[in-house]
Amino acid sequence: MITLLLLIPIIGSILLIPINENSNQLKMKQIALTTSLINYLSLFMWYQFDSNITQYQFVSEFNHLNLYHLNFGVDSISIYFVLLTTFVIHCLLSNYTNITNNLKFFLISFLILESLQICAFVSLDLLLFIFFESVLPVLFIVIVIFGHGNDKFRSALLFFLYTLAGSLPMLLSILTIYSYIGSTDFQLISLYDISFDFQKRIFLAFAVKTIYPFIIWLPKAHADSVLSGSILLAATILKLATYGYLRVLINFLPDATHYFSPLVQTICIISIIYSSFSTIVQDTKRLIAYSSIAHMGIVVLGLFSNTILGIEGAILLSIGHGFVSPALFICVGGILYDRTHTRLITYMRGLVTYMPVFTILFFFITLANTGIPLSLNWLGEIMSLMGIWNESPLTAVLGASGIVTSACYSLFLYNRLSYGSYSPYLPIFKDINRREFILLLSLLIPTFLLGIFPNVILNTLHMSVTSLLYTI
């Protein structure tokens, strides 16, 4: 099953290569969308998943004359990130009509990115976790070729260099683990008793990749990237760091994780407060990019709470953010940008006059981003903050300030764009079309459906999350 999930996008990419781009653009889009739809086989894998055991399931191993050893599998944590990755189809649909030049390269790039991300989430070997990094060159080229704005090359370069700079210590730490243990297999490493001093060195090498100075590329990459790139960054690429915390730091380096938790929590609080106040002077896409930093700060607080409640809340918030943030980017970076060709908030006002359906959907998406009750974001934020409250009430209070500021800037954006007298700078626009309506609704429904019925996820998480903290 996992092998199929990895190969289907690659097969779709191969089918696109011989097609004449100038005369068969519709056929190319149909092949790419069909390929992404077939990858919803991940839902069948989730249906067959047994949540009562902690072992990896659907394990696939490939060996050839001791030249390579590929080992893939999922547990109840990674399977939800795989499911989230299969929503890459929304990246293709969001730019379905406005990408005409180099369309073949565009479609092939995102199908390859889908396979690479799934590979990162299902790999059971630290060396294979390097697929974490394999998305960098592809996404760099996508931003340079298909991005917009005069600063897109600099944004792509910042994204590439900062991420690569954080990757080098991580690669060295993986090689150090191999020399120390003699293996990079997840299951063997989990059985090994790693000394505390060694854990601290390895922890810092891994964590440096995701601390604030190394993620300042994020708002610029979001702002200057093509819409599909922004969606992919928000929905899944940001979750690679979350998954790395769960799979490597908390799982293999528990003593160092507990030791460095105050430092990580301090960095998270600074990131939440700084990014929340930075939204005041941003345009539409940058505002949502900075809000993503604030939300992921709460995710990391939950992960380093050292409680089952906090870790499960962080996973729920990661999934909820993977639905809501792409929906917001579709609203402001797709629907509005395609019509207005600007991201400046000051030029847009009174959209409800001619776009009532869009305004209604935008309203519910905005509420989900603020963490309104019955949304998955609300449940994830509450559980994450309740988990950190048990360790440090002050940290929880400071982290909760992100919820208040999130409501302020999200409602400001919605109110400023939707109401008031219609902007004299804008012509009369048509409301959203069927494709845009389906896109937003397909992201909005799971956000509230899983917020009302969270046990669909939580019942399968309990065993794996418990095994992170306790010996079962």
pLDDT in tens, 187-218: 888 888 888 888 888 887 777 665 555 566 77
Average confidence (pLDDT) over 128-144 = 80
Distance CA(135)–CA(242), nearest Å, equals: 16
**Cβ pair 319, 376 in contact under 8 A:** yes
Residue 65 is predicted with a pLDDT of 54
* Secondary structure class of 64 (helix, strand, coil): strand
Decide if 121 contacts 105 (C-beta within 8 A): no
- What pLDDT sits at residue 376? 94
Residue-level pLDDT at 437: 92
Torsion sign across C-alpha atoms 156, 157, 158, 163: positive
Distance between CA atoms of 215 and 162, rounded to whole angstroms?
7
**64 Cβ neighbours under 8 A, 6+ residues apart:** none
* CA proximity to 236, closest of 399, 54, 42: 42
pLDDT of 385 strictly over 90: yes
Query: Which two tokens mark 296?
Result: 């992921």
Burial of 392 (0-12, 13-18, 19+ CB in 10 A): middle
Neighbours of 289 (CB within 10 A): 28
Computed over its alpha carbons, how large is the radius of gyration of the chain? 22
Rounded CA-CA distance 180/391 in Å is: 32
pLDDT value, residue 381: 93
CB distance 252 to 174 below 8 Å: no
Q: Give the torsion through C-alpha atoms of 133, 150, 232, 87, to 10 deg.
A: -140
pLDDT in tens, 91-113: 777 787 788 788 888 889 888 88
Are residues 314 and 299 in contact, defined by beta-carbon separation less than 8 angstroms?
yes
Q: For residue 392, what pLDDT is reported?
A: 87
- Which positions ≥6 away from 294 have C-beta within 8 Å? 271, 272, 275, 276, 402, 405, 406
Q: How would residue 342 be classed by pLDDT, with cut points 50, 70 and 90?
A: confident
| CA atoms of 449 and 242, how far apart (whole Å) | 23
The amino acid at residue 55 is Q
Which spans in 123-252 are helix H? 131-146, 152-181, 186-191, 196-207, 217-224, 227-232, 238-244, 250-252
What per-residue confidence (pLDDT) applies to 66?
61
Count CB atoms within 10 A of the CB of residue 10.
Answer: 16
CA distance 125 to 349: 51
- Chain position carrying tokens 């939950």: 302
Using CA atoms, how far apart are residues 253 and 193, in angstroms rounded to an integer?
10
Looking at residue 449, its pLDDT comes to 94
Three-class SS string for 269-333?
HHHHHHHHHHHHHCCHHHHHHHHHHHHHHHHHHHHCCCCHHHHHHHHHHHHHHHHHHHHHHHHHH
Q: What is the pLDDT of residue 361?
A: 95
Structure tokens at 466: 């418990």
- For residue 358, the model assigns a pLDDT of 94
| pLDDT value for 211 | 58
Give pLDDT, residue 318: 93
pLDDT at 64: 62
Query: Residue 199: which domain range?
Result: 1-468
- Is 223:149 a contact under the CB 8 Å cutoff? yes
Predicted local distance difference test score (pLDDT) of residue 209: 62
The total number of structural domains in the chain stands at: 1
For residue 185, the cross-strand partners are 125
Task: Classify 70 as helix, strand or coil.
Answer: strand
Q: What is the mean pLDDT of residues 21-31?
A: 84
Residue 241: predicted pLDDT: 82
- The answer, yes or no, to whether residue 427 has pLDDT greater than 80, is yes
Buried b (16+ CB within 10 A) or exposed e, 441-456: eebbebbbebbeebee
